[in-house]
Amino acid sequence: MRKRLKKELGLFDVFAISTGAMFSSGFFLLPGIASHYTGASVFLAYMLAGVLILPSMFSIAEISTALPRSGGAYFFLDRSLGPLMGTIGGLGTYFALMLKTAFAIIGIGAYAAIFWEVPTKTVAIVATLFFMALNLVGAKKTSAFQKVFVTFLLVILITFIVDGIYLICFGNTMGKEMLGEQFTPFLSDGMGGLFTSAGFVFVSYLGLTQIVSVAEEIKNPERNIPLGMILSLVVTGLIYGLGVFIMVAVIEPETFANEMAPAAIAASQMFNWLPENAGVLLMSIAALAAFASTGNAGLLSASRYPFAMGRDKLLPAVLSKIGGKGTPVMAIFFTTALIILFILVLSEEGIVKLASTFQLLIFMFINFSVIVFRKSNIESYDPGYLSPLYPYMQVIGIVISFILIVYLGWMPILFTAGIVVLGLIWYHFHARGKVKREGAIFHWFALLGKYQYDELENELMTILKEKGLRQGDPFDETVIKSKISILKSSTDINGVLDKASNYFSTELQRKKETIKKKFMQALQDGSVINLPGVLIFHAKYKNVLHPSLQILISQSTVLGNIPLNNVEEQSPVHICCFLINTDERPKQQLRMLSRLIDILEREQVVNDLLAMGSHREIKEYLLQNENFVSIKLLEGTLQSAMIGRQLMEIHLPKDVLVALIERNNKTFTPNGATVLEKDDILTILGEAKSISKLFKEYVGSEIEKW
C-alpha cells in the first residue's frame, strides 16, 4: 500500500503557512525597489497584483480540493496535461520556491547583522538547518512554529498600520501639501510602469499558493484550502496596500526608492509613544520573524515537490521515503542541501523577477488544467470547491499571466525557457521509460475519438475514497433506512436480483422487470464492483428523491455462475449491495459508493457480516465512525433512568438523534412517542463532540461502541 502523509493541518495552519510565506521580502525589502517602475503608486501595484492572482487562486483551490496530494503544481499539471508537463512544472516550481526561500533566509542574516557583527551567510545556513530540524519532526510541529511567527508578525504589522494612519490623519507634522509632495510623481511611467511593478511584486503573493504543496496533510481540504487561501489573500492584500501606502507617505521619495529596509525607516518616524528607536527595533524584529516564517514555510512546501515526483518515478524513488515521524525525510535533506548551495553561490539580484516569471507560466498552465479536467468528463474529478465564472475566469487568468510575463522583460523569460529545456531533457533521458500514465487531456481527446488513459480515473477514484464523504452527503441516513435481508436458504444470482428488484420497484415506483434488466446489464458490462465475496450494484435514475440502499446477506454461497464481465477468477459471493441515487447528483453517488467500497474492503468483512444476527449490528458495522454510539438500557446502570419513558422526554444533546432501536431481536426506527423498555439497544447519531460526551457519560455502564 502506498504510504501517505499524516493529515494534521487545520484551517489556522493553512492560513499561517500561506500568510507566513508572503510576509518577508514583499513587505520589508521590495517596496522601494518596486517604486522605480511606477513611483508613489507602488502601493496600488501591490493591490493590483493581489487582484490579478485571483483567477489562479480560484483554479488552484478547485484542483487542490479535487486532488489533495503533495506536490502542488507538479501533481496538478502531471494529472491534467501529462507527465512531461508535470516534470517541467515540478522542476520549475521547485527551483522557484527554493530560490525564494533562500532569498528569505538570507534576509535573516542581513537583519541579524544590524544588531550583531555576524557573517550574513553563516547565519542564513544555521537558520536553514534549524528549519530542516523542524520539518523533520512533522508538519504539525512545523506549522505550530509557523503560527507563532505569523501571530506575532500580524500584531506588529497591524500596529504599524494603525499608528501610520493616525500619524497621516492627525499628526501635526503631516500637512496636506507635504503629503501631496510625497505622492508626486504618482504614476511615473504610466500604466505600463504600474503593470511592470505589479509583475515585479507578484512574487510577494506566491506564498498564497504554496499551501497546496502540503494539501495531502490538510484535514478537511475541501473547506480548509479555499477558505484559508481567501482569508490569507484578504489579510495580506490589505496589509500590503495600507503598509506600503504609509511607507510612501512618511519616507522621502528619493530615500524610499533606494532603501532596502523601508519598513524600518518608516518606523523611525512613527511610534512616538514608544522609547527612542523602539519602533525601528520592533520592525526589525518583525522582519526577522517574517523572513523566518517564509523560510520555514518555503522549506516545508518545497520539500514536497521532490517527494511527490519521486513517488511518481519522475525523480529517484529514494526521495519519496517517509520517516518515522511521517515526514519526507530524504526530500527535506535534499531540499535543504540545495537551499544552502544557493545561499553560498548566488547573489540576490534578479531572483525576484526570475521566480515571478516562472510562477506566472505555471499559473497559465494551471488555469488551462481546470478547463482540461472539466472537459475530460472524468466522474471521479470531484472538487469540493468550484471556481466561479468558469471558463471565463480561467481565460482571464491565462491572459493576465501572459501580459505580466511580457512586462517583466527578456532575462527572466530566457531563464524560464532554460528551466523548460532542462525539464524536457530530464524527462526524455530519465523518466519517459519509467512512466506509463497520461493526463486528463487524453480523456478530453477521447471525446473526439482519441486515446485516453483509463488508470487516471482509477487514481482519482482512490483519492475520492481517501477524501471521504462531503458534509451533507446522506450516507449515514441511507444506511439507517436501508433494507437488510438475511437469506438463510440457498439462492442463485437470479433470485438475489428478483428480491432486490421487488424492493426497488416499490421504493422507486418503477417496473420490477426494468430494474432487474438494468442490474443484469450491469453484470455484463462490468460496472458491478467485485470485491472478495461481495458484489456492489449501483445505478442512477431520474426523479429519485433520496438515495436507497439494500443489502442481501446469503448464509450460503450464491449458487450458479455469475456472468461478470472481464473477471477470470471469482471468489464465492455471500453479500450483494444495491445503491440507487438520483441522476441529478452523480458526484454524490460516487462519493457514497466510494465510502461503501471502503467499508466492504475491510479484512474479514464477509465473516463479520455473516456472524451478525441483527439488522442493527449490520447497520452499525456500516456506520462505524465517531458519529454514533450504541447504548443498551440495563437496570442498575446510569441509563436505566430512560426505561419506561417516552423518547421525547429523554434529555440528549440537541445535535444527536436516536436513529434505531433494537428490541427483542427486531430493529425499528423510533419516533418521539416511543416508550423505551429494558434491554433496548439505542443507536444514536450526531456530531462527534456530542457523541464523545455521551460515550464518556455512560462509561461504566454497558456501552458498546463500534
CATH number for the domain harbouring residue 674: 3.30.70.1450
In order, the DSSP letters of 236-279 are HHHHHHHHHHHHHHHS-HHHHHT-S-HHHHHHHTS-TTSSTTHH
What percentage of the chain has pLDDT greater than the value 90?
A: 26
**Collapsing DSSP states into helix, strand and coil, what is residue 576?**
strand
pLDDT value of position 700: 43
Instruction: State whether 67 and 167 are in the same domain.
Output: yes
Let me know: does 121 contact 285? Beta carbons within 8 Å: no
pLDDT at 508: 85
CA distance 1 to 417: 38
C-alpha cell at 667: 430493529
The pLDDT value given to residue 674: 93
Nearest of 198, 191, 183 to residue 34 by alpha carbon? 198
What region, left, alpha or beta, does residue 562 occupy, with left being phi > 0 and alpha being psi -120 to 50 degrees? beta
- How is the chain split among helix, strand and coil, in percent rounded to 5? 60, 10, 30
Cβ within 8 Å of residue 532, ≥6 positions away: 571, 606
d(CA 554, CA 575): 6
Q: Is the peptide bond before 185 cis (omega within 30 degrees of 0)?
A: yes
Q: Minimal CA–CA distance to 538: which of 596, 623, 481?
A: 596
* Co-location of 419 and 547 in the same domain: no
Is the Cβ–Cβ distance between 56 and 206 less than 8 Å?
no
pLDDT at 548: 94
476: domain CATH number is 3.40.930.10
Q: Which of 413, 431, 449 is the last residue of a domain?
A: 431
- Tell me if 27 sits within 8 A of 104, measured CB to CB: no
Residue 463 lies in a domain: no
* H-helix or E-strand spanning residue 397: helix 392-408
Strand partners, 703: 631
Cell of 49: 497584483
pLDDT in tens, 427-465: 888 777 777 666 666 666 555 444 555 667 777 777 777
- Confidence bin at 175 (pLDDT 50/70/90): low
Nearest to 374 by CA among 389, 359, 396: 389
The answer to whether position 447 is within a domain reads no
Integer Rg of the chain from CA = 30
Amino acid at 293: S
pLDDT value at position 536? 95
Pair (169, 193) in one structural domain: yes
Domain count for the chain, please give it.
3
DSSP secondary structure letter of residue 217: G
CATH of the domain at 234: 1.20.1740.10
Q: Give me the residue label for grid cell 446510569.
A: 638
Structural domain of residue 569, as residue ranges? Answer: 468-617
Same domain, yes or no: 504 and 374 = no
**255 and 397 housed in the same domain:** yes
**What are the angstrom distances between the C-alpha of 356 and each of 93, 314, 522?**
10, 24, 51
In a domain, 61, yes or no: yes
Q: pLDDT-based confidence at 706, cuts 50/70/90?
A: very low
Q: Which residues make Cβ contacts (< 8 Å) with residue 576, sequence separation at least 6? A: 496, 500, 534, 535, 536, 537, 551, 552, 554, 558
Q: Looking at 340-354, 420-434, 487-501, 663-677, which range is the least confident one? A: 340-354
Q: Which range (446-450, 502-506, 592-596) has the least confidence?
A: 446-450
Mean pLDDT of 394-416: 84
Mean pLDDT of 303-311: 84
- Average pLDDT of the residues in 538-549: 90
* Alpha carbon distance 621, 194 (integer Å): 62
Pair 21, 207: CB distance under 8 Å:
yes
Judged on CB neighbours under 10 Å (0-12, 13-18, 19+), 39 is buried
Say if residue 398 is in the same domain as residue 310: yes
Amino acid identity of residue 240, one-letter, is Y
Considering only CA atoms, which of 101, 112, 632 is closest in space to residue 341? Answer: 101
Residue 199 neighbours by CB under 8 Å, 6+ apart: 49, 356, 360, 404, 405, 407, 408
Residue 350 has pLDDT above 80, yes or no: no
Beta pairing class for 548-554 and 656-663: unpaired
* 653 within domain boundaries: yes
Average pLDDT of span 100-125 = 78
Pairing assessment for the beta strands 681-686 and 656-663 based on DSSP bridges? antiparallel
Residue 436 belongs to some domain of the structure: no
Among 617, 635, 664, the domain-final residue is 617
- Considering only residues 138 and 507, tell me which one the structure prediction assigns the higher pLDDT: 507
Residue 675 has a pLDDT of 94
For position 547, what pLDDT does the model report?
Answer: 93
Q: Decide: 12 and 146 in contact? Cβ < 8 Å.
A: no
Closest-CA residue to 327 (of 194, 116, 154, 142): 142
pLDDT reported for residue 704: 41
Specify the residue for cell string 442490474: 519
What does the alpha-carbon distance between residue 521 and residue 628 come to, in Å, rounded to a whole number? 37
Contacts of 6 (CB under 8 A, 6+ apart): 138, 139, 140, 217, 326
pLDDT-derived band at 390 (thresholds 50, 70, 90) equals very high
Q: In angstroms, rounded to a whole number, what is the distance separating the alpha carbons of residues 603 and 2?
A: 18
- State the chain's mean pLDDT as an integer: 83
Q: Using CB atoms within 10 A of its CB, is residue 671 exposed (0-12), middle (13-18) or buried (19+)?
A: exposed
DSSP string, 680-704: -EEEEEE-HHHHHHHHHHTBTB-EE
Q: What digits encode the pLDDT tens for the residues 308-332?
A: 888 888 888 888 888 777 788 899 9
**Which range is least confidently modeled, 176-190, 388-402, 496-510?**
176-190
Q: How far is the C-alpha of 203 from the C-alpha of 96, rounded, in Å?
A: 10
Does 554 lie in the same domain as 695? no
Residues pairing with 684 in the sheet? 629, 658
- Residue 442 counted as domain residue: no
CB 664 within 8 A of CB 630: no
Answer yes or no: is 201 within a domain: yes
Supply 333's cell numbers. Answer: 535533506
What is the per-residue pLDDT for 449? 46
Read off the pLDDT of each residue in 509-519 and give the average, rounded to a whole number: 91
Dihedral over Cα of 57, 60, 62, 64: its sign: negative
pLDDT-based confidence at residue 223 (cuts at 50, 70, 90) = confident
Identity (one letter) of the amino acid at 190?
A: G
Q: Of all helices (H) and strands (E), which one includes residue 554?
A: strand 548-554
C-alpha cell read off for 304:
514536497
Q: Residues of the chain with pLDDT > 70: what percent?
A: 89
Both 660 and 607 in one domain: the answer is no
In this structure, are 610 and 636 located in the same domain? no
Q: Sign of the CA dihedral 601, 604, 610, 611?
A: negative
Beta bridge pairs of residue 530: 535
Note the pLDDT of residue 44: 94
Residue 134 falls inside a structural domain: yes
Shared domain check, 318 and 224: yes
**φ, ψ dihedrals at 438, nearest 5°:** -135, 165
Higher pLDDT, 457 or 671: 671
Q: Taking Cα atoms as reference points, which of 301, 83, 315 lies closest to residue 75?
A: 83
> Which residue bears the cell 544555521?
126
> Residue 307, CB half-sphere, CA atoms under 13 Å: how many?
29
**Residue 1 reports pLDDT greater than 50:** no
604-661 pLDDT, tens digit each:
999 999 999 889 999 999 986 777 888 888 888 888 889 999 999 988 888 888 999 9
Same domain, 283 and 396: yes
- Give the model confidence (pLDDT) of 176-196 as tens digits: 556 677 787 788 888 888 988
Domain-ending residue, one of 617, 636, 654: 617
First to last CA, the chain: 25
CA dist 184 and 116 (Å) reads 37
Are residues 530 and 394 located together in one domain of the fold? no
User: pLDDT (tens digit, 9 = 90+) per residue, 33-63?
Assistant: 888 888 889 999 999 999 989 999 999 889 8
Determine how many CB atoms are found less than 10 A away from the CB of residue 562.
18
Residue 427 is predicted with a pLDDT of 84
